[in-house]
């Protein structure tokens, strides 16, 4: 089972757009990541994203490029939401899953899965970047890519 964690693309500042939609740069970088994922034949069974505009837009760009059977907006993926119950839910799915969200939420989730503690900051996320975790007996970091690496 694989878990892909993606921080939303770069958003417009709140004073320009109260909903903080993706900026042109955020759209371009997310599209580049989407094309990378497509070229690698990444397939997921579901994409979960937060209800915030920038996460929903990032999810739509990604889903337009990869094979995915379900996209779901979830109210428990916001920046300050708890990650405590997610590991059991994710593992019980036993499917390839992509979560598109925010910091510090994604850092806490990755740390909890990899080390058992959400307070360890093991991974430095970047806007539109993808972190791929794999689960067999335990969670392991498989790879990560950021727009700057493409």
In a domain, 66, yes or no: yes
* pTM for this prediction: 0.96
CATH code at 41? 3.40.50.1240
Q: Is 116 left (phi over 0), alpha (psi -120 to 50) or beta?
A: left
Degrees, nearest 5: CA angle 100-104-109: 65
Per the CB < 8 A criterion, the answer to whether 42 and 72 are in contact is no
Instruction: Note whether residue 16 is domain-resident.
Output: no
As given in the structure block, the two tokens for residue 58 are: 């990032």
- The model's pLDDT over 108-132, given as tens digits with 9 standing for 90+, comes to 999 999 999 999 988 999 999 999 9
Structural domain count of the chain: 1
Q: 132-144, pLDDT tens digit by residue? A: 999 999 999 999 9
Structure tokens at 8: 């939303």
Boundaries of domain holding 132: 2-10+21-149
pLDDT digit string (tens) for 29-83?
999 999 999 999 999 999 999 999 999 999 999 999 998 889 999 999 999 999 9
* Domain membership flag for residue 56: yes
- 15 assigned to some structural domain: no
């Amino acid at each position: 089972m694989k878990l892909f964690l993606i921080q939303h693309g770069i958003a417009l500042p709140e004073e320009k757009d109260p909903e903080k939609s993706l900026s042109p740069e955020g759209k371009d970088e997310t599209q580049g990541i989407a094309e990378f994922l497509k070229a690698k034949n990444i397939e997921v069974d579901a994409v979960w994203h937060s209800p915030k505009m920038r996460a929903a837009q990032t999810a739509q760009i990604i889903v337009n490029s990869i094979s995915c059977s379900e996209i779901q907006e979830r109210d428990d993926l916001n920046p300050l939401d708890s990650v405590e119950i997610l590991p059991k839910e994710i593992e019980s799915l036993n499917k390839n899953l992509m979560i598109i969200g925010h910091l510090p939420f994604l850092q806490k989730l990755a740390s909890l899965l990899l080390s058992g503690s959400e307070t360890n900051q093991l991974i430095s996320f970047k806007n539109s970047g993808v972190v791929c975790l794999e689960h067999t007996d335990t969670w392991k970091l498989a790879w990560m890519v950021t727009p700057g690496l493409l």
